[in-house]
Amino acid sequence: MKVIALKFENYRNLKDNIISPCDGVNIIYGDNAQGKTNLLESLWFFCGGHSFRGSKDSEVINWDRNFAKIEMRFFGQDREQTAKILFKGGKKTVEINGVQKNSAAALIERFCAVVFSPEHLSLIKRGPGERRKFIDSAICREKLKNAVVLSKYNRILNQRNSLLKDIYRRPSLEDTLSVWDEPLLKNGAVLVKKRIDYVKMLSDRAVKYHDGISKGKEELKIRYVSGCDITEDDSTDEIYEKLKTKLETHKSDDIRTGFTNYGPHRDDIEIIINGKNAKAFASQGQQRSAVLSLKLAEASVLRERMGEEPVILLDDVLSELDAKRQDFLLNELHGCQVFITCCEKSNKEQLRNGKIFLLNNGVVS
């Protein structure tokens, strides 16, 4: 997967322009608040029509304009392709290879990328919800049916929790709880199995990347943590039975508290550096290196599953990394197209082969 050209018009603070990146590492260099992250965001929109910042579509339109447009020419699926996204009137219109699509989701099947931004440090710094969201997002991007399973599980969970609150006030409703238990268990077992399989693949690759980033000085481990005594070797049927046992055992607790206390919605992914929990003991630089390793591993899994090398977008990734770790990202990510934003002059001077873009007040040169 390679971006051949990117064109933007009325997009945030970026001045209308067309850029042609190289196939390797591309550095977007400039002071803060010049538009570097905006440029990466425009590329990420082609992965499925959403901003990695969580921004509304209307926010990408330059403040004194009534529309914004981004266009990309790229090589993927063994051929050159084009994609366009128009933002206007609170809506976006997507066109792929000259054909208008009903939904921006059509972009997922055409272009793939992996993005790192400082916000992704929340994978370590915040609670289990952030890590579950990361894994669920990854497995849903791989297969649409995974997204269907996750959606069903969350919907059934909400309905069961709503019923639990009603049972507390009206005990006669307890007999209807089984209506939601069976589909919750079936979808939950499939979801956990998909997560565990993905974490195993992710861990194998993240360990290797982290070894390269840390120059062999640190050991990274990632494991799936379940409150239902589930192991990575369990089959879907075995996971189902363990979830069922936990649900039945804690039925009275669920009714008393008004929510489902155990299940996939309570699981976590533990990130360990040199035998210690990264959230509690790792430095800022170590945490950044660990999340980077996870994101690069995500790209590796995508490549294997989709048969395409995803584009890698790294926003403000070099700060708080020492020179050796920076060198790995700038000069040792071979075979894939990379976009890296940075502010420090010394960062861009470390690049041995690639292309450097200066971004000043929205102007790319």
Binding residues for ATP: 30-37
Which residues, at least 6 apart from 7, have a Cβ–Cβ distance to it below 8 Å? 17, 18, 69, 70, 71, 72
The burial of 103, by beta-carbon neighbours within 10 Å (0-12 exposed, 13-18 middle, 19 or more buried), is given as exposed
Which residues, at least 6 apart from 248, have a Cβ–Cβ distance to it below 8 Å? none
170 three-class SS? coil
The burial of 123, by beta-carbon neighbours within 10 Å (0-12 exposed, 13-18 middle, 19 or more buried), is given as buried
Q: What values do phi and psi take at 144, rounded to 5?
A: -65, -35
CB-CB contact of 271 with 220 (8 Å): yes
318 three-class SS? coil
362 three-class SS? coil
Cβ-based neighbour number of residue 125 at 10 Å = 14
Residue in 254, 196, 256, 202 with CA at minimum distance from that of residue 226: 196
Residue 105 CA neighbour count, 13 Å, CB half? 8
58 three-class SS? helix
Residue list, annotated binding site: 30-37
Residue 331 CA neighbour count, 13 Å, CB half? 12
Alpha carbon distance 105, 102 (integer Å): 9
